[in-house]
């Protein structure tokens, strides 16, 4: 079975000042998180600004990431949307050689019923040549995937995991209590990783692990006391990553760490001076 336990890093997409892709920065970032003890890479998720990438750019980012990774870690690729037929077509047209699984977000904007969500994911899982990870993030998509929906989809042989970012621990507990033994419940919220571990979660797909992969290694693989201590160390810094939308704060943090530039694409803009000062003060 594909091993996606521990820390998956939701990689940012480094950019130059003119907002073109920074391939040197991508390689530097991947070497940084691999050296820090990450367990797998997630390419072109929300943190990677996938919403403002062209199809050609997404292919370039994936190609560079696969090359820079050099078979060191599994790679998960973000491939989803709110038009089921368009997602199926993208699966057909994307070369997934070197990709171990796809991460597919719950359809946004349309507000489908739970039955519609099940039909959407079933079509994707039937079509995908690699395993599928569900992604529930109602703060962005509006629609929440109920625990019963996740559990129904967990029985599909090509659906292997759920990235849960609802922030609803009772919902997570209902999934953990009834999910198949080989199904993975992955935290989609950095700060809930330790709590999710305690109920049977397998780790996190993390934003802040771009900057601090070694801390997340402790959070995901250390004993409970070490995990708690590590997660508490991020309490001041973590909210700043989202204050002006992800990955604005994170990209400034990465610039301060000397990994890459802090450029983001419109409609996002670089961090305000106030946010920059607070990030510098809270840095570990």
* Contact yes or no for 266/236 (Cβ under 8 A): no
Catalytic hit among 163, 251, 255, 276: 163
Catalytic hit among 77, 121, 135, 252: 135
User: How would you classify residue 68: left for phi > 0, otherwise alpha for psi between -120 and 50, otherwise beta?
Assistant: alpha
Task: With residue 60 as reference, give the H or E element that holds it.
Answer: helix 55-69
Tell me the CA end-to-end span of the chain in Å, nearest whole number.
Answer: 36
Cα 269 to Cα 247: distance, rounded to the nearest angstrom: 10
Task: With residue 40 as reference, give the H or E element that holds it.
Answer: strand 40-43
Residue 55 is a catalytic residue: no
Write b or e for each residue in 62-82: b if 16 or more Cβ atoms lie within 10 A of its Cβ, otherwise e: bebbbebbeeebbbbbbbbbb
Cα 127 to Cα 195: distance, rounded to the nearest angstrom: 34
Cα 109 to Cα 106: distance, rounded to the nearest angstrom: 10
On whether 279 is known to bind a ligand per the annotation, the reply is no
On whether 47 is known to bind a ligand per the annotation, the reply is yes
Half-sphere exposure of 181 (CA within 13 A, CB side): 0
* Contact yes or no for 62/99 (Cβ under 8 A): yes
Residue 163 is a catalytic residue: yes
Binding residues, as ranges, are 47, 205
Query: Residue positions in the annotated binding site for pyruvate?
Result: 47, 205
- Catalytic residue numbers? 135, 163
């Amino acid at each position: 079975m594909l091993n996606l336990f521990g820390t998956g890093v939701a990689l940012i997409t480094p950019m130059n000042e003119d907002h073109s892709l920074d391939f040197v920065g991508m390689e530097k970032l991947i070497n940084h998180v691999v050296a820090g003890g990450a367990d797998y890479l997630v390419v072109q998720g929300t943190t990677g600004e996938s919403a403002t990438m062209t199809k050609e750019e997404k292919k370039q980012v994936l190609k560079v990431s696969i090359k820079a990774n050099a078979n060191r870690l599994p790679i998960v690729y973000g491939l989803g949307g709110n038009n089921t037929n368009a997602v199926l077509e993208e699966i057909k047209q994307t070369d997934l050689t070197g990709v171990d699984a796809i991460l597919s977000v719950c359809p946004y904007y349309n507000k489908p019923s739970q039955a519609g969500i099940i039909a959407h994911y079933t079509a994707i899982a039937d079509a995908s040549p690699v395993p599928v990870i569900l992604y529930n993030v109602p703060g962005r998509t509006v629609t929440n995937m109920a625990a019963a929906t996740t559990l129904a989809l967990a029985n599909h042989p090509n659906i292997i995991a759920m990235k849960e970012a609802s922030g609803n621990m009772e919902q997570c507990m209902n999934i953990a209590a009834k999910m198949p033994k080989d199904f993975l419940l992955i935290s989609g919220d950095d700060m809930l990783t330790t709590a999710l571990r305690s109920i049977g979660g397998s780790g996190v797909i993390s934003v802040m692990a771009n900057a601090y992969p070694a801390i997340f290694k402790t959070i995901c693989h250390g004993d409970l006391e070490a995990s708690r201590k590590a997660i508490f160390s991020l309490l001041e810094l973590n909210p700043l990553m989202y204050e002006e939308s992800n990955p604005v704060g994170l990209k400034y943090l990465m610039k301060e760490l000397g990994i890459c530039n802090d450029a983001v694409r419109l409609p996002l803009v670089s961090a305000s001076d106030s946010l920059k000062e607070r990030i510098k003060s809270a840095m570990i």
